[in-house]
Amino acid sequence: MAAKVLSSGIRYSDLPESYVRPESDRPRLSEVSECENVPVIDLGCPDRSHIVQQISLACTHYGFFQVINHGVSKEAVERMLEAAHGFFGLPVEEKLKLYSDDPSKTTRLSTSFNVKKETVHNWRDYLRLHCYPLHKYVPEWPSNPPSFKEIVSRYCVEVRGLGYRLQELISESLGLEKDYITNVLGEQGQHMAALSNGRYKSVWHRAIVNADKPRMSVASFLCPYDHALISPAKPLTEDECGAVYRGFTYAEYYSKFWSRNLDQEHCLELFKN
């Protein structure tokens, strides 16, 4: 059973064969340019139009940005990281109670990305939690560490508030009403590349690991409802280019996303006209 996850306490002296990529598939680091000017946006700026302009530039030219003075408390972040480290530090038998490679499960511990499809695995374990509505999903979250549910719930509330705020700013940066994304996708939103009709980038997420210490990330997603129709905003298609993406539901996207490998083309490419 312990072989199902990497966070089993075993120290590896060599990389297992199933994690070794052919040289032809490895990133060519010599071809990667350094990003020395990561966009940093101060959400505490009193000039909302300035924030909107900065977001537009960052989404157009980079596809990502960092925010400061965002309103999520330092205490909530620190306690969230402590809870995450606490969970992954549990005995492997305890963690494996939540193990599943079924993408439809709303709470699950798993490893790599899609172990059923991959020929080469990614060096990571992850705990995936559905969060909203909290009263529906919190009961199925881990009970160990004992404070896990309380800490993660508080963090979710604060980060969700930030997500809504950014959603409004991104809508405005596209020249749309601030509640456009919320109205189209429900109270949760994602897929800015499709909504922006290709104006905003959807970039690959990559992380570098090392043999000395673990790397911990806490990623939060505002995912649309299953029935939400994701398509370019009509005001952004009224030119000679037309719609870059066809309309698709989030359920359709989710199904395709989890049927693929991470090293294939970006899933959004499948929905281009």
pLDDT in tens, 112-159: 777 777 778 888 888 999 998 899 999 999 999 999 999 999 999 999
Round the average pLDDT of the chain to a whole number and report it.
82
Nearest to 46 by CA among 17, 22, 21, 69: 69
User: Which structural domain range is residue 76 located in?
Assistant: 2-10+38-271
pLDDT at 70: 94
Residue 20 maps to a domain: no
Residue 186 maps to a domain: yes
| 224 contacts: CB under 8 Å, gap ≥ 6 | 185, 186, 188, 189, 190, 191, 230, 250
DSSP assignments along the chain, one per residue: -GGG-S-SSPPPSS--GGGPPPGGGS--GGGPPP-----EEETT-S-HHHHHHHHHHHHHHTS--EEES-S--HHHHHHHHHHHHHHHTS-HHHHGGGB---TT-SEEEEESS-TTT-SS--S-EEEEE--SSHHHHGGGS---STTHHHHHHHHHHHHHHHHHHHHHHHHHHTTS-TTHHHHHHTT----HHHHTTTSS--PPP-----SSS---------PPPTTPEE---GGGS-STT--SB--EEHHHHHHHHTTS-TTSS-GGGGGB-
Residue 157 maps to a domain: yes
Length of the chain: 273
**61-75, 244-258, 259-273: which range is least confident on average?**
259-273
Number of domains in the chain: 1
Distance set, CA 86 to CA 83, 94, 99, 142 (Å): 5, 12, 17, 11
pLDDT at 2: 43
Answer whether residue 44 shows pLDDT above 90: yes
Residue 16 maps to a domain: no
Residue 15 maps to a domain: no
pLDDT at 5: 76
Residue 122 maps to a domain: yes
Q: How confident is the model at residue 261 (pLDDT cuts 50, 70, 90)?
A: low
Compute the average pLDDT of residues 209-214.
Answer: 74
How much is the pTM? 0.81
Residue 33 maps to a domain: no
Identify the sign of the CA torsion 166, 174, 63, 265: positive
Amino acid at 255: S
Q: What is the CATH number of the domain that holds 207?
A: 2.60.120.330
Residue 26 maps to a domain: no
pLDDT digits 0-9 by tens, 71-103: 999 999 999 999 999 999 999 889 889 988 887
Contact 194, 245 (CB under 8 A): yes
Amino acid at 54: Q
